[in-house]
């Protein structure tokens, strides 16, 4: 049998399938978010099941999470992304005590107990300037791929200072910096520092090591260094950082009481 976790996030849908025998990851995959989250999730789930020679009848239980979790048809229950990310990170890095998750539209701070339960959390969903959307805007403005931003930032000798707290005004500020001759690599490095600083301000003095960085933004090279510098604490990137929410949902699906 298979347990399924579906993370219907703001920018993408992620699915993780766990083997019921040993709770190992059988397969995982993602797809860009769209208008019909339920249909996209269903299609992705079916494709992944086909990859491992299984079908819907082999799925014992499905838990959905993410902002669109309540419209995922076929889910047996829904659980908040806070709980799912905590569970997923604990499964991958049991010693983690602080989790920083930066996704497409929001950022989260989780404080974990030794058993992986969430003791406290903070969330910033009011401004995209501290999220992956900020990096997407910068990549579009510079005409580069999102995956190439880290390599570009690594070339920076003098990161630009990005002072705007709003993504709209920050984009205007970036245009001004580029127009005045600022190097693209310095702008990107400045953006990474800006995102890390916003997250650090949300953390405040609540940092407890070890710190694990997860979410799609954790996949951008250089962001973990910027975050570690901003919070003055070593940071470890979680394995499969984009999938920790879906993994946590799948793990909770394997339990008799996922809530």
Q: How far is CA 26 from the centre of its chain?
A: 21
* Distance between CA atoms of residues 37 and 24, nearest Å: 26
Phi, psi dihedral angles at 134 (to 5 degrees): -60, -45
Asked if residue 73 and residue 38 are part of one domain, the reply reads yes
pLDDT, tens digit (0-9, with 9 covering 90-100), for 123-148: 875 555 556 777 887 888 888 887 78
Say which CATH number the domain at 40 has: 3.30.420.40
101 φ, ψ to 5°? -115, 120
What is the Cα–Cα distance from 54 to 221, expressed in whole angstroms?
35
pLDDT digits (tens, 9 = 90+) for 64-96: 999 889 989 889 999 999 999 999 999 999 999
Average the pLDDT over each of 15-24, 47-56, 68-77, 174-183 and give the range with the smallest value: 174-183
Task: Average the pLDDT over each of 70-79, 138-147, 185-194, 247-256 and give the range with the smallest value.
Answer: 138-147
Note whether 216 and 103 are within 8 A (CB).
Answer: yes
Domain contains 225: yes
Domain of residue 60 covers 2-87+243-253
Average predicted confidence (pLDDT) for the chain: 88
103 and 15 inside one domain: no
Cα separation, 64 vs 246, in Å, equals 8
What mean pLDDT comes out for the span 234-255?
Answer: 96
- Residue-level pLDDT at 127: 57
Of the CA atoms within 13 Å of residue 125, those in its CB half-sphere come to: 8
Number of domains in the chain: 2
pLDDT digits (tens, 9 = 90+) for 203-231: 776 689 999 999 988 988 889 999 999 99
Q: What local confidence, expressed as pLDDT, does residue 167 receive?
A: 64
Burial class for 174, CB neighbours closer than 10 Å (0-12, 13-18, 19+)? buried
């Amino acid at each position: 049998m298979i347990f399924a976790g579906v993370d219907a996030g703001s920018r993408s849908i992620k699915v993780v399938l766990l083997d019921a025998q040993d709770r190992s990851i059988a397969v995982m995959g993602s797809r860009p978010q769209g208008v019909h989250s339920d249909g996209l999730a269903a299609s992705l789930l079916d494709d992944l099941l086909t990859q491992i020679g299984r079908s819907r009848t082999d799925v014992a239980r499905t838990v959905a999470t993410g902002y669109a979790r309540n419209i995922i048809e076929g889910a047996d229950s829904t659980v908040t992304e806070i709980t799912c990310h905590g569970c997923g990170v604990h499964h991958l890095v049991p010693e983690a005590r602080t989790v920083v998750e930066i996704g497409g539209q929001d950022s989260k701070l989780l404080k974990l107990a030794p058993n992986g339960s969430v003791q406290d959390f903070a969330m910033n969903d009011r401004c995209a300037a501290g999220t992956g959307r900020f990096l997407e805007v910068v990549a579009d403005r510079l005409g580069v791929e999102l995956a190439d931003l880290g390599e570009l930032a690594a070339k920076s000798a003098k990161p630009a200072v990005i002072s705007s707290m709003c993504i709209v005004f920050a984009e205007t500020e970036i245009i001004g910096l580029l127009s005045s001759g600022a190097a693209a690599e310095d702008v990107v490095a400045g953006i990474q520092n800006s995102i890390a600083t916003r997250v650090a301000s949300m953390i405040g003095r609540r940092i407890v090591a070890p710190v694990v960085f997860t979410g799609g933004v954790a996949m951008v090279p250089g962001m973990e260094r910027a975050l570690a510098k901003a919070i003055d604490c070593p940071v470890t990137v979680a394995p499969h950082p984009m999938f920790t929410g879906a993994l946590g949902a799948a793990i909770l699906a394997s339990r008799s009481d996922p809530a």
